[in-house]
Amino acid sequence: DAGVIQSPRHEVTEMGQEVTLRCKPISGHNSLFWYRQTMMRGLELLIYFNNNVPIDDSGMPEDRFSAKMPNASFSTLKIQPSEPRDSAVYFCASSFLGGDNQPQHFGDGTRLSIL
Amino acid sequence: SQQGEEDPQALSIQEGENATMNCSYKTSINNLQWYRQNSGRGLVHLILIRSNEREKHSGRLRVTLDTSKKSSSLLITASRAADTASYFCATAGSGNTPLVFGKGTRLSVIA
């Protein structure tokens, strides 16, 4: 199993530009999570999907952030327009959520720098 | 909101020593999980302990859970330089609720 795959690994762009982060979860997992990690705020859950449906997006900081999961094998997190304070490492994770909360498997993240 | 709080925030030890990290949480849980994060990488699941368990072992890792005190500890015995990483606890509620992660403990093992 290839694990959770994120792309790109690094992204540097100027403020105001649109940024799209991509994630391929582990096959068979029914839940996908987007996190943001910074030194100041630690690991923050932005949004999670269950069976491709967004369940809780209360962690999405602003309307500039949006996430989609068009099918079980692909998700995107988009920031438009981007701002310097969006600079962080963004992680995608997947798991199988059911009666027992199973471990999450993380990708290696996208390091985003907004200039 | 973050439920797990790790203690200490940072820990530096010599190779061969044991490292103990603690986690406290606020509400009832279904299970508690520990993760490791190496620099520049994603979090990796280490061990899961259920609410009805008190202790669990995996290799050089020992996890305890005290639900009456709402706390857990992770012990790494005979530490190695390769154990240098950040360690996070995460609490799991019931059903389809997501994990809630703490801010982590940064462990440095000096060779």
Question: Which chain A residues have a beta carbon less than 8 Å from that of B94?
Answer: 101
A99 touching chain B per CB within 8 A: yes
What is the model's pLDDT at position A100?
66
Count the residues in chain A: 115
Q: Which of B31, B84, B73, B87 is nearest to A95 (CA)?
A: B31
Render pLDDT for B28-74 as a digit per residue (tens, 0 to 9): 899 999 999 999 999 999 999 999 999 999 999 999 999 999 999 99
- Pairwise CA distance, residues A78 & A14, whole Å: 15
Render pLDDT for A34-44 as a digit per residue (tens, 0 to 9): 999 998 888 99
Render pLDDT for A22-62 as a digit per residue (tens, 0 to 9): 999 999 999 999 999 998 888 999 999 999 999 999 999 88
- State whether B98 and A45 contact (CB < 8 Å): yes
The DSSP H or E segment spanning B74 is strand B71-76
What is the model's pLDDT at position A1?
62
Q: Give the residue-averaged pLDDT of A101-112.
A: 93
Radius of gyration of chain A (CA): 13
Residue A37: closest CA among chain B residues belongs to which residue? Answer: B103
Confidence of residue B15 (pLDDT cuts 50, 70, 90): very high
Write out the two tokens for A18: 């649109």
DSSP sequence for A73-104: TEEEEEESS--GGG-EEEEEEEE-BSSSBPPP
- State how far residue B53 is from chain A, nearest Cα, in angstroms: 14
- Pairwise CA distance, residues B73 & A97, whole Å: 25
Q: Give the residue-averaged pLDDT of A85-97.
A: 94
Question: How many CB atoms are closer than 10 A to CB A40?
Answer: 5
- State how far residue A41 is from chain B, nearest Cα, in angstroms: 8
| B56, B101, B105: best to mutate for the A interface, most A CBs within 10 A | B101
Inter-chain CB pairs, A–B, below 8 Å: 57
Mean model confidence pLDDT for chain A? 94
Write out the two tokens for A30: 């029914």
